[in-house]
Structures are given as C-alpha cells and as structure tokens.
Structure 1
Amino acid sequence: MSIEDPLIRRRPLGGGWGVAAALAVQALCVALAFACGAAGGWAWSWTLFLAVPLVNFVVYGMGSRRTL
C-alpha cells in the first residue's frame, strides 16, 4: 500500500487552456444568469450557477493528473 503525498501539486486538465476555459465558463454563466434574471427568469436562472462547480470539478478535480 502506498501513501500519496498531499503536497504534490496536481496539474489541471488541459493545463493553461483548461484554466482559461474554466474562467470563461464561469464568467459566461454568471453573465447569463443575471441576463436571464433581468428578463424575468429569476426562477430558472440559478441553474446556470450549477455549471460553475461542475466545470471546476472536471478541470481541477476529476480530470487533473498528478505530476512528479
């Protein structure tokens, strides 16, 4: 059984492009949520905020690879 060092850095999925894509999706989702809410769709605009943690989970969590 091996014990992994928690201080080893993890590289995001896609490297720099993955980080840029995550930031773009977050900004787009927030802007769309406020735009839909301003158009009278406050009841459903909150669902766009669910994409923010989902994208972060894929880029930084599940999809990241260990670097040595």
Structure 2
Amino acid sequence: MTDYSDPRRTSERLSNTDRDEAVARLAAARDDGRLTPEEYDARASTTRMAVTRGDLTPLFSDLPLGADAPLVYSTPPSGAIPTPVGTPGARAGALGGAWGATLVALSPFIAIALFFLFGFTSSFTWSWVFFLLIPIAGIVVYGPGARYRR
C-alpha cells in the first residue's frame, strides 16, 4: 500500500497502475464505510485525472493507511533526507547475500562432518571444537559487519 504523503515523492508522475491502485484503495474505504458513495465518486474521478503523487495527497489525508502501509515520515532537520519512523526495525542482511545465509544454514552439517572425520582419524578429544564453527559463522555473516536494509 502506498503512502501518498511522502514528501520526497510528491512530484513523481503517476502510472495507470498507480491510479488504479489508488481508486481500489478508495473503493475499499467506501466499502468500510469511511466514504459515502458521493465522496467516493468525487475522489475517484479526481484520482483518475491526477498527474503526480502530490495530487493524491489531499484525497487520502483523512483516510487511515492499511496494516501493511509503508512508512510515516518525520519532519527532517534542514537539508536532511526524511527518515522512517515507527517501522519494525531494520532487518539484517547476510554478509555475502544468499551465499552467506547458505553457509550459516549448512554450518551445523559441516561441523558434524568435521567432528566425525577428525574424530575417527585422530581422536574425539578435541573434535568438539568444530561445533564452534556454528556460532562463528553466524557472527561473521550476521554480525556488526553485515549490511542493513530497510
């Protein structure tokens, strides 16, 4: 669901798909009883003629965003880019992308294989050390050096 009040995107031109999605949101608001049929008709016709995202801002300003709505922006300091507020938090991205995540997922199996390989060839006395590879792989891939995405 789109937040039309994003100050960084008010001058962005709309596509036909964007207009159709906006009309669908208005229809959902009408079906929920938030808009009368007359209000819906007026807003839907304005939405179909809208050129930029800023044209849609007043049409949705009194309607709540959905549960899956994106971000609400705070007022930024002068010259700064607005930052998202009230989001669930940044999710950590795996260092190395899919390869790093796969390495972490396979690290228990690698540790078991090394445990038995070195245990049977030499001694099981120090073979348990290979199980330390599991948290080490997690720390390296998802630790402070990992990239963060929104």
| TM-score, length-scaled by structure 1 | 0.71
How far off is 1:64 after superposition?
1.3
Task: Give runs of ≥4 in structure 1 deviating > 4 Å.
Answer: none
What is the distance in 1 between the residues matched to 2:128 and 2:104? 18
How far off is 1:57 after superposition?
0.3
- Specify whether residues 37 and 8 from structure 1 end up closer, same or farther in structure 2 by C-alpha distance, changes over 3 A only: same
What is the distance in 1 between the residues matched to 2:97 and 2:130? 25
| TM-score, length-scaled by structure 2 | 0.37
The answer to whether structure 1 residue 11 and structure 2 residue 93 are counterparts is yes
Name the structure with the higher helix share. Answer: 1
- More RCO (CA 8 Å, sep 6+): 1
Aligned residues: 64
Contact 1:12 1:63 in 2 (8 A): no
The aligned residue for residue 125 of structure 2 is 43
What is the distance in 1 between the residues matched to 2:135 and 2:103? 13
Greater C-alpha radius of gyration: 2
What is the distance in 1 between the residues matched to 2:144 and 2:116? 29
How far off is 1:6 after superposition?
6.4
% identical equivalent positions? 36
Correspondence for 1:58 among 135, 140, 143: 140
What are the superposed Cα offsets for residues 12-53 of structure 1, whole Å, 9 maximum, x if unpaired? 111111111223343222211022223451111011111211
Matches within 5 A, 1:14-33: 14-33=96-115
Q: Which moved more, 1:48-57 or 1:37-46?
A: 37-46
RMSD: 2.1
SS in 1 for 2:105: helix
